Amino acid sequence: MTEPLYCINHPTVETYLRCARCEAPICDKCAVQTEVGYICPACLNRQQRVFYADFRPIYYPLAAAIALPLALIAGWILPATGWFTIFLGPLAGTGIAEAARWAIRRRRGRYTWLVVAGAIVVGGLPRLLLSLVPLVVSAADPSLLTVGVWPLVWTGVYLFTAVGTAVARLR
Ligand SMILES: [Zn+2]
Ligand SMILES: [Zn+2]
């Protein structure tokens, strides 16, 4: 049996817990659970400061460089799958967001969500423009309109769901 330690913040409170970072004894009131185990408030503070200070503006173009090619592929293929877009759009949004986060080593930037959302919208533009063609054509012959409007609907569904899930994941 090990001797009880005393919390560095509460000298009267016995504990067996030590901070995973600095090994200071901490009571269960002070301990904060993280990926590396329980850590003390001082270490948590330091870790969070590093987390944000570590972010450099260069990570935005880096996130975009990964997100844009994926968004171009997803934006071209998925709306062509018709109603499957309802399920595939959120998946694409999640995938693109995770790829962008991986690219910047999961560092947190305030505007990462905006960069990724922008990439998804830009990536959807080729399909969006193509889906407008039937509408332009049907302007001459309105009987074609019912056929012509679906590509635009699915492109809209794709953009809405993909951007929505990506932003929810990154904010
Ligand atoms: Zn500590
Ligand atoms: Zn304590």
How far, in Å, from the CA of 52 to the mean position of ligand 2? 26
> What is the per-residue pLDDT across 136-160, written as a single tens digit (0 to 9) for each?
877 777 776 666 788 899 999 999 9
> What is the per-residue pLDDT across 9-66, written as a single tens digit (0 to 9) for each?
999 999 999 999 999 999 999 999 888 899 999 998 887 776 666 778 889 999 999 9
Q: Look at residue 144 in the predicted model and tell me its pLDDT.
A: 63
**Distance, C-alpha 81 to centroid of its chain:** 24
CA distances to 2, 26, 37, 42, 47 from 17, rounded to whole Å, are 11, 6, 11, 15, 19
Closest ligand (CA of 30): 2
Q: Are 107 and 55 in contact (CB under 8 A)?
A: yes
Q: Look at residue 127 in the predicted model and tell me its pLDDT.
A: 95
> What is the per-residue pLDDT across 118-133, written as a single tens digit (0 to 9) for each?
999 999 999 999 998 8
pTM for the structure as a whole: 0.69
Q: Look at residue 147 in the predicted model and tell me its pLDDT.
A: 60
Q: Look at residue 98 in the predicted model and tell me its pLDDT.
A: 96
How far, in Å, from the CA of 131 to the mean position of ligand 2? 62
The residues that bridge with 38 in the sheet, in sequence order, are 33
How far, in Å, from the CA of 55 to the mean position of ligand 1? 23
